[in-house]
Amino acid sequence: MVRYERGLWRKGLSRVAGVDEAGRGPLAGPVVAAAVILPLDIFLPGLDDSKKLSPQKREEIFFKIWREAGAIGVGIVSEIVIDRINILQATYLAMRQAVTKLPVSPDCLLVDGMTTIPDLNTFQVAIVKGDSLSISVAAASIVAKVTRDRIMVEKDKHFPQYGFAKHKGYGTKVHLKALDKYGACSLHRRSFKPVKERLNHKVEKIAGEYR
């Protein structure tokens, strides 16, 4: 998982930042991105795509990354902004925030996915399934995922009826049933189809009762 980094290190680009996000698909909560620069001699056994690891393993590696990484930046874009500019642009915004919050300027970005981040002057390489192929991207994946999960667990205390602590805002059957029963809360992304349909249905139902 270090072949991308090694190729860049050999060219003198020592500050290689992996960039990844968490939370593009959920119906509620923010999208979170992380940028991580790892030292050349780092050893993180068990590091992989965050989606392949158990929550306990993610937390364990998360602490190791924070302790041993050369630099970390995190970007968080709220559900309000997601609804305003759409999830793709919100994801790019979170990634830009993460990169700009790095305490040092990166020489290169390894970005998970098919496209690089617009409106950044830093040299970038997009890597499809980068969180399984690059140690830096995998580290960013874990930082973003754990950070977002913690946010949703905290939000669950304010909105316990939706079960955010368990599904983290994704459109599970339990979540959709809660949406049907309680409607949307302030965390829900109103531009996302399952939420939008239910809001429209509620408005139509209320309108029908007053005809």
Find the mean pLDDT for residues 36-46.
84
- Residue 201's pLDDT is 64
- Residues composing the chain: 211
Q: Can you count the helices (H) and strands (E) in the chain?
A: 9, 5
Q: Which residues of 58-73 are buried (b: 16+ CB within 10 A; e: fewer)?
A: beebbebbeeebbbbb
Where do we find the tokens 């929550």? 55
Q: Which of 41, 61, 87 is nearest to 195 (CA)?
A: 87
What 3-state DSSP class applies to 118?
Answer: coil
pLDDT band at 46 (very low <50, low <70, confident <90, very high): confident
- Residue 54's pLDDT is 85
pLDDT band at 211 (very low <50, low <70, confident <90, very high): very low
- Residue 207's pLDDT is 36
Domain boundaries along the sequence of the chain? 3-156, 160-209
Q: Is the pLDDT of residue 114 over 60?
A: yes
How does pLDDT run across 139-154, given as a tens digit for each residue?
999 999 999 999 999 9
How does pLDDT run across 160-170, given as a tens digit for each residue?
999 999 999 99
- Residue 40's pLDDT is 84
pLDDT band at 48 (very low <50, low <70, confident <90, very high): low
Provide the CATH topology of domain 3-156: Nucleotidyltransferase; domain 5 (3.30.420)
**∠ CA(132), CA(137), CA(140), 5° rounding?**
120
Residue 110 to residue 20: CA distance in whole angstroms: 9
Where do we find the tokens 């040299």? 123
Q: Which residues of 8-40 are buried (b: 16+ CB within 10 A; e: fewer)?
A: bbeeeeebbbbbbbbbeebbbbbbbbbbbbbee
How does pLDDT run across 58-106, given as a tens digit for each residue?
999 999 999 999 999 999 999 999 999 999 999 999 999 999 999 999 9
Residue 140 to residue 155: CA distance in whole angstroms: 23
Extended strands (E) in the chain: 16-22, 31-37, 71-77, 108-112, 124-127
